[in-house]
Amino acid sequence: MLRGLYTAASGMYAQQRKTDIITNNMANIHTPGFKEDQTTIRAFPEMLLKRMGTTSNGASVESNPIGTLNTGVYVQEILPRLIQGDLEQTERLTDLALTDSGTGTSFFTVQAGDDVKYTRNGSLTLDPQGLLTTGQGWPLLDVNGEVIRLTSDQFTVTSQGIIEENGNEVAQLGIIVAENPEALIKESDGLYKTENNEPLPLAENAAAYQISQGFIEKSTVDPMRAMTDLMTAYRAFEANQKILQAYDRSLDKTVNEVGRVNG
């Protein structure tokens, strides 16, 4: 019976984790470049149960197998759904949208503290020092790994990321195309990093991506599907909860009624 308690409790915990991920996705429906997270739920290894018997001299021996016992589930991994989001025109010169072959694996490089990190959020601003930064204040980097400094917000960006002011080239955006995007670790503020914080190589083929100035990439969250998944997770949580309550009532009856010693 106690095994059943643990199994139901693990199901509740897994569905709670899934609910947290889905609600975070829904909260970022309007966040530019946001990639929704998807969960993978996996069962723990099953246990084989066998009937135990005794020999004539009282020694324990295994008898026929009874069957298998499932020991619960857990959230194995959480992965961002890296696909190309739809573009929305804003006509703001500081808004840049990355487009690629539909895989969503090209990224802007930014200087986040002491580390180089990556983002798809191209809703940019110019800070008082003229640095081209993300909404969280992280400066974008060029192909040389240097911050990009401009004199005004009247600049143009070509489809290959070359920034021009007054007809003169001042920088080229440092764009990377991740060969193994599943190895990227997603952080807050729409940032991604590598496991060892080692910078990824810049894109060798400029045709692998395009930049659209005056556009932003919309979130990849589908609100209707997210709401459906949320309700499904909630119902699964409720089902496990009812099983847990049934076990609790059985234990209560066992302790307070079946196990009662009449005086």
Name the residue type at position 139. Answer: P
Q: What pLDDT is stored for residue 5 in this prediction?
A: 81
208 or 149, higher pLDDT: 149
Express each pLDDT in 67-126 by its tens digit. 776 778 888 888 888 889 999 999 899 999 999 876 778 899 999 988 899 999 999 999
Cut 0.85: pTM above it: no
64 or 88, higher pLDDT: 88
219 or 207, higher pLDDT: 219
117 or 6, higher pLDDT: 117
Q: What pLDDT is stored for residue 3 in this prediction?
A: 72
Residues 200-220, mean pLDDT to the nearest whole number:
85
Q: What pLDDT is stored for residue 184 in this prediction?
A: 87
Task: Give CA–CA dist 104/110, Å, rounded.
Answer: 17
Q: What pLDDT is stored for residue 1 in this prediction?
A: 54
Q: What pLDDT is stored for residue 207 in this prediction?
A: 67
Where along the chain do its domains lie? 1-81, 87-217
Q: What pLDDT is stored for residue 140 in this prediction?
A: 95
118 or 44, higher pLDDT: 118
Q: What pLDDT is stored for residue 9 in this prediction?
A: 87
41 or 29, higher pLDDT: 29
Q: What pLDDT is stored for residue 37 in this prediction?
A: 92
- The answer to whether 110 and 118 are in contact (CB under 8 A) is yes
Q: Which of 163, 157, 175, 158 has the alpha carbon at shortest distance from 120?
A: 175
Q: What pLDDT is stored for residue 260 in this prediction?
A: 63
**Average pLDDT, rounded, for the chain:** 86
The least confident of 82-96, 169-183, 197-211 is 197-211
